[in-house]
Amino acid sequence: MALTRQPGGEQPHWPLGPFKLRLPFIHYRWEYPEMVQGLIMFVVGLAMIPLLQKYLGMPYEAALAFCVVAGVGYMLPALLGVPLVPGWITPAIPVVLLFLQGFEPGPEAIKAMFALQIEVTLIFLVLGITGLGNKLVTVIPNSLKSGIIIGAGIAAMMGELKAGGRIDNTPVSLIIGSVVCAYVLFSLSFKRILETNTLAKRISNFGMVPGMVLAMLVGWAVGEYALPEVQWGITKPDFALMWQYLVFSTGMPDASTFMLAIPTAIIAYVIAFGDIVVGFTLVKRVDHLRKDEQIDDSVTRVHLVTAIRNALHAFLAPWPGLAGPLWTAAHATVAERYALGRKAMDSIFSGGGTFWITGFIALFLLPLVSIFKPVLPIALSLTLVLTAYICIMVGMEELKNSTERGVAGIVAVTLAMPDPKSTVYAVVIGLVLYFLIERGHHIGKREQGDLSILADATADVQAGDAHGRSAAGAPAR
C-alpha cells in the first residue's frame, strides 16, 4: 500500500539531499495505462540502436547493452523528484550526427561522443548549481536560438527525405505513420472530435503509439520490413562486449576533439532548456485542475538529474540522442491523463514512474524485443519527423519581425548543411549577422559624424534589446 498524500500536499517521498526519492508501491501507486504504453513505447529507446551501429560502429548486442544503461537513466527523474517524463534531446540528434560524421566509426567516434556528452554534463551541472541557465538562454539572440531550433528540424527532416534515406526504402509505412501521428498529436479537427467522441479521446491518450503501431503493421504488410522471428525468454545484452566501446578501452579524446564539440554541446543545451520550459508549462496547464497535489517544479533539480544521466552515458554508454529532460509526446500524454483527476492518475510521479519502469523491464522481454527488432528504423524515423514539425513550428513562432526571420533562416540553412562543422559555422554566422543587421543600424549614423544622433541611437538600441530579451524568455518546444 502506497503512502497516502494529504489533500493539497506533496506526494510522499524520502529526502535525499537536493532530491526527493520516490519508489513505486511505497510512495505512489502503479498506473496500468502507463504500463501498457511503456510496453510499446520502449521501442523508441531501442530505435537508437541503428545509430549506434552506424555512427559508433558497434554490434547489435553491445548496442542493446547501451540501451539498458539508458533505461536506468530514464527511471532517474521520477525516482529523484522530477515531474517530467524524460527522453533524448531529440531535436539535437541531427546536429550530433553531423558532428559525428567528422570521425571514423569506432574508437574515434566513441571518443568524440564522450567529449560531447561530458561537456553537456558539465553545462547542466554548472548552470544548474549556479542558476545561470536562465541568463545564458536569454543572452543568446532570439534569431540565433530560433535558427538553431528550425535548423535542427530541417536537418531531421532532410535526413529522412534525402536520396537513399528511409523515405526511399520504406515510403508507404513512413508516410502513413507520419500522417497518423501528426493528425493525432497536432490536428485541430481531431481536437474538435475529442470533445464528443470517447474512442478518439482514448486514442489520443496514447500519443504517437497508434501511428507507430500502424506504421509497423503497414511496413510488414507491404514488405518494407521483414516479418519478425519471435523468440522466447530473456534478452542477453552483452556487457562484456560493450566495454570495448567505452573510453576506458578506446582512450580519452584529445583537446582538439573537446574544442570541436563545444558548439554542439551549447546548441544541445539551448534546445534542452526549451524542453524544460515546455515540460513545466504542460504541468502548469493541468496543475490548476488538480488541487489535491502540490508539484515541486525545481529547475535546479532537473539540471542536476539531467547532468547525472549524461555523465552515466558518457562513461558507460555514449549516446547520440544525449540525455534530455523531456520526451514531449510521452509527457503530454501523461499530463493529459493526470488532468482527469486522482482516480485516473494518483500522482504526476506515478504516471512517469510507471511508464519508464515498465519500459526498462520490457528491455529484457525477448518476445517484445524480437518482435520490434526489424522495425526499429520506423520508430526512429517517426520520432525525427514529429520532432522536425515541432521544431519548425516553434522556431517560427518565436521570431518577432522580418529581420529576425532573415537571420534565423540563414542560421537554419547553415546548420542543416551536411558538414560536420556546420554547427560552428551556424553559430558564428548567426552572431555576425545579429551584430551587423539586427544591432548594426547605428553604424551608418557614425559615418554621418553626428555624435549626438549616434548617442541617441545607441541608447535606443540598448533599451530595445534589453526589453526584447526580457520579453522573449527561453525558447519553447
Q: What is the pLDDT of residues 331-364, one digit of tens each?
A: 887 887 888 888 889 999 999 999 999 999 999 9
Residue 215 lies in a domain: no
Torsion, Cα 372 374 380 381, to 10 degrees, reads: -130
Q: What is the pLDDT of residue 352?
A: 93
Residue 356 lies in a domain: yes
User: Using CA atoms, how far apart are residues 284 and 84, in angstroms rounded to an integer?
Assistant: 12
CA–CA distances in Å: residue 80 to residues 59, 165, 273, 346 = 33, 39, 19, 18
Q: What is the pLDDT of residue 460?
A: 43
User: Using CA atoms, how far apart are residues 366 and 350, in angstroms rounded to an integer?
Assistant: 26
In sequence order, the 6+-apart residues with CB closer than 8 A to the CB of 425 are: 414, 417, 419
Q: Spell out, as residue ranges, where the chain has pLDDT lower than 70.
A: 1-2, 133-134, 136-137, 440-477
Q: What is the pLDDT of residue 105?
A: 94
Q: Give which of 252, 266, 257, 260 is closest to 120, Cα–Cα.
A: 266
User: Using CA atoms, how far apart are residues 467 and 475, in angstroms rounded to an integer?
Assistant: 16
User: Using CA atoms, how far apart are residues 437 and 137, in angstroms rounded to an integer?
Assistant: 21
Q: What is the pLDDT of residue 316?
A: 96
Residue 318 lies in a domain: yes
Q: What is the pLDDT of residue 126?
A: 94
What DSSP state is assigned to residue 324?
B
| Residues spanned by the domain of 258 | 29-170+225-401
Q: What is the pLDDT of residue 33?
A: 86
User: Using CA atoms, how far apart are residues 280 and 325, in angstroms rounded to an integer?
Assistant: 11
The model scores a pTM over 0.95: no
Q: What is the pLDDT of residues 392-413, one digit of tens each?
A: 887 888 888 899 999 999 999 9
Q: What is the pLDDT of residue 297?
A: 82
Q: What is the pLDDT of residue 170?
A: 86
- Paired strand residues for 453: none
Residue 78 lies in a domain: yes
State the alpha helices, DSSP H only, in 296-375: 299-316, 328-338, 348-362, 366-372
Residue 256 lies in a domain: yes
Q: What is the pLDDT of residue 394?
A: 77
Q: Are 349 and 28 in contact (CB under 8 A)?
A: yes
Q: Are 389 and 423 in contact (CB under 8 A)?
A: no
Q: Considering all CA atoms of the chain, what is the largest pairwise distance in Å, rounded to the nearest integer?
A: 82
Q: Give which of 310, 306, 348 is closest to 331, Cα–Cα.
A: 348
Q: 459-468: long-range contacts at Cβ-Cβ below 8 A with a sequence spacing of 24 or more?
A: 465/439, 468/142, 468/400
* Set of cell numbers at residue 384: 525525427
Domain count, the chain: 1
Within the chain, how many helices (H) and strands (E) appear?
24, 2
